[in-house]
Structure 1
Amino acid sequence: MEKKKIKIVVVEDDENLRFLVVNRLEKEGYTVFEAANGHDGETAILKEEPEVVLLDWMLPGKQGSAVCASLRQQQFENQIIMMTAKAQDVDKIDAYNFGVSDYITKPFNMDVLVALLDNKVKYLLTHDKSEIHRFSGMEHHPNVHSLVMRDGRKMELTILENRILLYFLKNPDKVINRDELMQVVWGYNSDVNTRTLDMHIVRLRKKIEENPENPQLLQTVRGIGYRFNLG
C-alpha cells in the first residue's frame, strides 16, 4: 500500500493549524480529509474509515475525548492520535483510557508529526492485523483490543490493558519489573506512580482470571513486579 492510499482525517477547530497540517500531509502523499468540530469529525471518520485520525482534544460541539470513546464503541479500530496542549501524566493516562492510540503535544514541529505518522503507517503495513494469541482457553486479538472468552463472549480491552496483556503474552513466564512494564505501556521513561500501573493490573485480572482475588495467570512477584504464568 502506498502513502496516497493511506487516508487521514484531521479534526481541528483552529483553522490556521488545520490548514498547515492538511497542506503538509497532502504534500507528503497522504489522502487527507478535514473537519472543524467534533460532530463533523466523527461523521467523516465513520464515512471514510481512515487508517489514521488526528484528533484535537478541545473541540466545539463534541470534545475529542468523547469522539474517541464513541468511535471505539462503534468498533472503529484504526489509529487515533490526539493533538493536545494537555501534557501532564494524568492527562496522558486519561487519553489512553478513552481509547487513543498515541498523542502529540501542542505546539508541535511539523517534521515531528510527519515522522510520527510515517512510523505508524510503516507499522500498519508490516504487521498482520489478524494476529491472535491464545492462552487458558481465551483468545487475545491485540489489533482490535479484545478478548474472546472461554464461553465465546467478546470482551473489550482499554488501550493500556491491551498493551499490558500483549507484553506479558510475548514474554511468558518471565518476571517483569514495574519500571520495564511502565516504559513499554506508556511509551517513555514514565514517572507515573506505580500504583497507577497496579490499578490497571487489577482491572485486567478481573477480565482474564477466574478468581481475580487469587490470580493464577497474572501473578505478583513481591518487591519486583509481575509474571504471566502459562503453566
Structure 2
Amino acid sequence: MSKEIKIALIEDDENLRFLVAERLQSEGYKVLEAGNGDDAEKIILEHDPDIVLLDWMLPGKQGSDVCISIRESGFDKLVIMMTAKAQDVDKIEAYNFGVSDYITKPFNMDVLIAMIDNKIKFSLNSDKSESYKFANMEHHPNTHLLIKDGRKVELTILENRILLYFLKNKNKVINREELMMEVWGYNADVNTRTLDMHIVRLRKKIESNPDSPQYLQTVRGIGYKFAYE
C-alpha cells in the first residue's frame, strides 16, 4: 500500500488519539493530528488528506460544523465520523452535513483499520471524485450528493450506501439479505421492513413517480433491481 496515504485524525481524547495514530502508522498510513475543531480545519484544508477521521464531540467547533465548513471549502474526500453515543448516530443520519460514514466508540481497532483499508481500496480504484451518472441524475457518493436536474438532493448515509450499491450492480436482481449485509454489515439487527422504508425514501428522491418506480424496481419475493441501461 502506498505510504503516501494521509489520514487526518481529529480527536480530543489524547490517549485514544495516540492509540489510533500509532496503529494507523504501523499500517503504513501518514497521520496528521488535531485535538480541536479549529486546528482540524486548518490541517485538513492545508494538507488535503485522503481520509478524515473526525470526532463528533470536539472542544471549540463541533465535528459536524467542521465537516460542513470543509465541505463548503471544497474538500470532497472521505470523512468518517467517530461518535460515542447511539443517539449521535441518529443525529448524523438526520442532519446531513456531508459525512461519508461513521463508526461508533468504543470501536475495535481492527474494525476501524478494515473499514479504512476498504475505503482506500475503493477510492484508489475509482476516480478521485467518484460519480455515477444515470438519466437526469448524478450521484457523488463521497459527499452524499445527488444532483437531479441540476439541483442538489441530500442523501442520508444509508440512502447513500443503498444507491451506490445499486449503481454498482445495475440491472442485477439483489435480494434483501445481500443488500442488508452491504448496508448495515454483519451484526445488523435490522429487519426487512427497515430496509423497505429506506428504499421508499430513496425512491421519493430519485423517481418522478415513486409509486410506480422506473429505476428502483421491486422484484416480488426476492428484493430489488436497479433498472437502467
Conserved in 1, the CA contact under 8 Å of 2:83 and 2:89?
no
TM-score for both structures, normalised by structure 1: 0.77
* 2:176 aligned partner, one-letter code: R
Q: What's the offset of the Cα at 1:51? A: 0.6
For each residue in 1:106-152, what CA deviation from the matched residue of structure 2 results, as whole angstroms up to 9, or x when unmatched? Answer: 33454554444334333332223355433334333444433343x43
Conserved in 1, the CA contact under 8 Å of 2:99 and 2:143?
no
- Secondary structure at 1:50 match in 2: coil
* 2:163 aligned partner, one-letter code: L
1:203 alignment partner, one of 201, 204, 221: 201
TM-score for both structures, normalised by structure 2: 0.77
Corresponding position of 2:128: 129
Of 174-183 and 46-55, the range deviating more from structure 2: 174-183
Percent of aligned pairs sharing the same letter: 68
Of 107-116 and 175-184, the range deviating more from structure 2: 107-116
For each residue in 1:154-209, what CA deviation from the matched residue of structure 2 results, as whole angstroms up to 9, or x when unmatched? Answer: 44433322221222233334443333222112233422244433333233222221
Corresponding position of 2:190: 192
Separation in 2, partners of 1:132, 1:91: 28
After TM superposition, list the pairs within 5 Å mapping 1:103-118 onto structure 2. 103-118=102-117
- The alignment status of 1:183 with 2:204, answered yes or no, reads no
Separation in 2, partners of 1:177, 1:115: 25
Conserved in 2, the CA contact under 8 Å of 1:56 and 1:82?
yes
Separation in 2, partners of 1:8, 1:132: 22
Q: What's the offset of the Cα at 1:12? A: 1.0
- C-alpha spacing 1:210/1:102, structure 2 compared with 1 (3 Å): closer
- The alignment status of 1:120 with 2:119, answered yes or no, reads yes
- The alignment status of 1:50 with 2:57, answered yes or no, reads no
Separation in 2, partners of 1:219, 1:67: 37
- Secondary structure at 2:217 match in 1: strand
Corresponding position of 2:166: 168
Corresponding position of 1:218: 216
- C-alpha spacing 1:80/1:220, structure 2 compared with 1 (3 Å): same
Separation in 2, partners of 1:94, 1:195: 21
Question: Where does structure 2 lack aligned partners over 5 or more consecutive residues?
Answer: none
Q: What's the offset of the Cα at 1:40? A: 2.7
- C-alpha spacing 1:32/1:188, structure 2 compared with 1 (3 Å): same
- Secondary structure at 1:188 match in 2: coil
- C-alpha spacing 1:145/1:85, structure 2 compared with 1 (3 Å): closer
Corresponding position of 2:156: 158
- C-alpha spacing 1:158/1:73, structure 2 compared with 1 (3 Å): farther
- C-alpha spacing 1:91/1:2, structure 2 compared with 1 (3 Å): same
Separation in 1, partners of 2:184, 2:73: 25
- C-alpha spacing 1:139/1:110, structure 2 compared with 1 (3 Å): closer
- Secondary structure at 1:13 match in 2: coil
Q: What's the offset of the Cα at 1:50? A: 0.9
Tell me how many residue pairs correspond in the alignment: 227
Separation in 2, partners of 1:21, 1:2: 19
* 1:39 aligned partner, one-letter code: D
- C-alpha spacing 1:192/1:173, structure 2 compared with 1 (3 Å): same
Conserved in 1, the CA contact under 8 Å of 2:101 and 2:157?
no
